[in-house]
Amino acid sequence: MEETPSSDTRDELRRLRDEIKARIDYRAFFSRYLQPRQSSSARWQAMCPIRSHAHTGAGHPSLSVDTARGLFHCFSRDEGGDAIRFYELIHDVSFARAVREMAREFGIADTKQISLRFRAAPDREAREQSSAPLDAEELTSVCANFLETCGAEDQTEGISYLSRRGIDRRTTISAGVKYFPRRAYARVMRRMTGAFPLDTLVRSGLFNSLGHLTFYRHRLLFPFFSAGRPVYLQARATAAGTEPRWHNLRGSVPCLYNIDTLSELPSGAIVHLVEGFTDTLTLAAHNFAAVGLVGAGGLREEWIASLARFRVIVALDPDAAGRSAALRYGEMFAACGLKLSSLDLPATDVNDFFRHRPSAALEFALLTENAFEETTESYNQ
């Protein structure tokens, strides 16, 4: 027999209950357990799966679910309630256990036990600066080991995420993108702590000072390669609504994203300078050479030399930041005695342009050609 919860415990359970109800997607929750026989946009009719109701499984559906309000009612047993009550009956657990299990599932912190999401948070900047960062060789070693460790896990979710954005499996693998599912978090953490001293991992930014891997919500990894070696990486959260969306190792970005692929190109080849990993890989998937910036304003003057032997065209997001950066980059290239063309997409970024236009590759090639012609004409005037 369970003990009667104290007043503090009851208050905590009520808080967790309210947070669960604020976050839960009722359709997704009930669809785990039900196969509706009849349904409208919000009301479902289904066979009742509650074991204690001892249904035979035959006859008409007896369970009604209101997916808008998160309520259910079994007419044959005249029992109903909210989603938490449904969880209690399905799993044959107490209200307290149902609330705590559902809270953990939604990443809601119990004040008695801080959730892993908070324990895995990166250290604050002030704490990071209390120790020296790794040198380039040490950071490369950590990056390579982390990518290999994550690459040994199931890559399906990461590949599917990029595939839904028009980036095929071949391109994803060729770019060295890696992923690890949340269920592999503890295993990845153990392998990294077995390969490096904790101090090294903390100084890299991969771990925090509490000894936890900081890439808990950001598990889709985009490595920066230089001379065939991973010298840095950033990671994206794939779950909707996660902020910030990006997380990176300690230190600054050392080079353009995808710069290694340019070594295979002949001089005079066209190279697109774009914003972000997704736009870069979108162009790569359609056989356009591209390098990426982290943010519209991310180009450094010392990187321009690596682009000097190519015909470079910038295609940033068509917002104020993108347009301002494109103008500034034109001046930076001109100061180095180089030309930079600019491609203006119609109110969209590169990835959206390719996802929503059936003839996007041809249109993009024509826009590129027109941009080079306009640049040539402006220089000849």
Last residue of one domain, picked from the residues 248, 275, 301:
248
Question: Residues 40-81: pLDDT tens digits?
Answer: 667 888 888 888 887 765 667 889 999 888 999 998 888 999
- Burial of 207-224, coded b for 16+ CB within 10 Å and e otherwise, reads bbeeebbbbbbbbbbbbb
Among 39-48, 113-122, 153-162, where is mean pLDDT lowest? 113-122
Q: Give me the CATH number covering residue 97.
A: 3.90.580.10
Domain identity same for 275 and 217: no
Domain identity same for 177 and 220: yes
In a domain, 241, yes or no: yes
Q: Give me the CATH number covering residue 225.
A: 3.90.980.10
Residues in the chain: 381
Range of the structural domain that residue 45 is part of: 7-115
In a domain, 331, yes or no: yes
Cα angle 232-238-240, degrees, rounded to a multiple of 5: 140
Domain identity same for 105 and 85: yes
In a domain, 128, yes or no: no
Domain identity same for 266 and 344: yes
Last residue of one domain, picked from the residues 199, 224, 248:
248
**Closest by CA position to 80, among listed 66, 95, 98:** 66
In a domain, 129, yes or no: no
Domain identity same for 235 and 271: no
In a domain, 120, yes or no: no
Q: Work out how many domains the chain is built from and give that number.
A: 3
Question: Residues 318-369: pLDDT tens digits?
Answer: 888 889 999 999 999 999 999 999 998 887 899 999 999 999 999 999 999 9
- Burial of 360-377, coded b for 16+ CB within 10 Å and e otherwise, reads beeebeebbeebeeebee
Under a CB-based contact definition with an 8 Å cutoff, are residues 169 and 155 in contact?
no
Domain identity same for 277 and 337: yes
